[in-house]
């Protein structure tokens, strides 16, 4: 039985380009982001992969990425489940701020702590720990059972919501996960064992 799970961080968004904290704000992809998503689809197609169901977040940039990937695979009509639980980490009061302006206002050390600690949330927002607590139950209840019964699943989501999944799949710790980066538009192809642990992982870089 093929227990296939593919994770893809959305392509570059307009606010990624402008160096803004994005969170639950809803900018779309840049032209580069469109190219990244299209390229991700092409690399998945070159591996001969097809999917039974797609999951994405409630945010435009992830949904657009998902549509572009499925279009490259000839699966534009694939069942696609949009779920807020897979949204990016909520940056609260930082949302929409330029990261350099935030450092000028609160200082490098404080902004670094908000961005890279595991359990310190920005004002009005979520820590990575909070994001894991939101994403993981949805994964365990709705996504993992599909993979374990042989459905081929792709998730197009966000840097932090996917880091929550990678933390579990790759057995990373609260100390190591904050420094782990996911590149935009780069699929992570997992094959799982029957006990839900990882049998293999392949990173499809451009």
Q: Which of 10, 36, 64, 158 is catalytic?
A: 10
- Please name which of 46, 62, 29, 3 lies closest in space to residue 205, comparing C-alpha atoms: 46
d(CA 112, CA 175): 14
Q: Which of 36, 88, 126, 158 is catalytic?
A: 88
33 by Cβ neighbours in 10 Å (0-12 / 13-18 / 19+) ranks as buried
Determine whether 88 is an active site residue.
yes
How many of the other CB atoms lie within 10 Å of CB of 61? 31
3-state helix, strand, coil in the chain (%, to 5): 45, 15, 40
Tell me which residues are annotated as active site: 10, 88
């Amino acid at each position: 039985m093929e227990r296939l799970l593919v994770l893809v961080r959305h392509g570059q968004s307009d606010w990624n380009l402008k160096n803004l904290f994005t969170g639950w704000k809803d900018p779309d992809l840049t032209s580069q982001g469109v190219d990244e998503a299209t390229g991700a689809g092409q690399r998945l197609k070159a591996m001969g992969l097809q999917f039974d169901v797609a999951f994405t977040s409630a945010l435009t940039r992830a949904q657009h990425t998902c549509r572009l990937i499925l279009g490259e695979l000839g699966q534009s009509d694939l069942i696609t489940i949009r779920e807020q639980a897979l949204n990016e980490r909520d940056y609260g009061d930082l949302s929409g701020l330029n990261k350099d302006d935030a450092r000028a206002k609160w200082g490098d050390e404080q902004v670094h702590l908000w961005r890279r600690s595991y359990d310190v949330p920005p004002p009005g927002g979520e820590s990575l720990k909070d994001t894991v607590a939101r994403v993981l139950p949805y994964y365990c209840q709705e996504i993992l059972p599909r993979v374990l019964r042989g459905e081929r699943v792709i998730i197009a989501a966000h840097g932090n919501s996917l880091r929550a999944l990678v933390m579990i799949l790759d057995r990373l710790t609260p100390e190591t996960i904050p420094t782990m980066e996911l590149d935009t538009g780069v699929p992570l192809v997992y094959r799982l064992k029957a006990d839900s642990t990882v049998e293999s992982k392949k990173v499809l870089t451009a």
